[in-house]
């Protein structure tokens, strides 16, 4: 009931009749089965187009998929950027195998990584900004969505330009040296 009520409040606040993708932001205390049932009800009522989750680790995702209609999940929104690569060890391969998109939030680490020498060097080679390289890096794999902050039209255009950046093996190797990929399973990071 809380999921339906929260969605209806969002629809009213946004002044829209339908939300294309509605996310469960945290696992919370309610069973997945009840939340999934509510999400499916919202789809049946035409209030949402699809549903996803946020901040679920591998164990949570496996449990979710064991539920009736759990396989309807479209996306898992997680913290992912050059300095927070833990999902690459287990969650990302699982998501690819299950055909579930991953949505990277804070893809430039709230700006903290933008002065890193390796990132700046790649940006200079391509004639773009470090932020555009960081965004292109998050989008280098199919099934990955990146949601950077944008407060102006120019900022949106600058972010969009990351799609024109193609990182080569030299770029990726340099970034891997500066921001090492995980060698073992890590707890899911969150901001």
- Residue 160's pLDDT is 96
- Residue 63's pLDDT is 97
Q: pLDDT band at residue 93, thresholds of 50, 70 and 90? A: very high
Three-class SS string for the chain? CHHHHHHHHHHHHHCCCCEEEEEECCCCCCCHHHHHHHHHHHHHCCCEEEEEEECCCHHHHHHHHHCCCHHHCCEEEEECECCECHHHCCHHHHHHHHCCEEEEECCCHHHCCCCCHHHHHHHHHHCCCHHHHHHHHHCCCCCEEEECCCCCHHHHHHHHHHHHCCCCHHHHHHHHHHCCCCCCCCCCCCC
Mean pLDDT of 28-54: 96
Query: Residue ranges per domain, the chain?
Result: 1-54, 74-191
- Residue 191's pLDDT is 87
* Domain made up of 74-191: CATH architecture: Alpha-Beta Barrel (3.20)
- Residue 146's pLDDT is 96
- Residue 28's pLDDT is 84
């Amino acid at each position: 009931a809380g999921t339906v009520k929260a969605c209806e409040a969002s629809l009213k606040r946004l002044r829209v009749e339908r939300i294309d993708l509605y996310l469960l932001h945290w696992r919370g205390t309610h069973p997945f089965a009840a939340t999934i049932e509510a999400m499916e009800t919202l789809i049946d009522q035409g209030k949402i187009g699809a549903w996803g989750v946020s901040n679920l680790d591998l164990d949570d995702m496996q449990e979710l998929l064991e539920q009736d209609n759990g396989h309807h999940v479209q996306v898992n929104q997680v913290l992912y950027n050059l300095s927070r690569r833990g999902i690459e060890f287990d969650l990302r391969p699982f998501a690819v195998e299950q055909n579930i998109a991953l949505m990277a939030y804070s893809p430039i680490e709230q700006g903290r990584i933008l002065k890193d020498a390796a990132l700046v060097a790649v940006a200079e080679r391509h004639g773009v900004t470090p932020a555009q390289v960081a965004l292109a890096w998050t989008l280098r794999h199919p099934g990955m969505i990146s949601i950077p902050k944008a407060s102006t039209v120019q900022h949106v255009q600058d972010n969009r330009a990351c799609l024109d950046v193609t990182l080569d093996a030299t770029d990726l190797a340099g970034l891997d040296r500066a921001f090492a990929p995980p060698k073992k399973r890590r707890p899911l990071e969150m901001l």
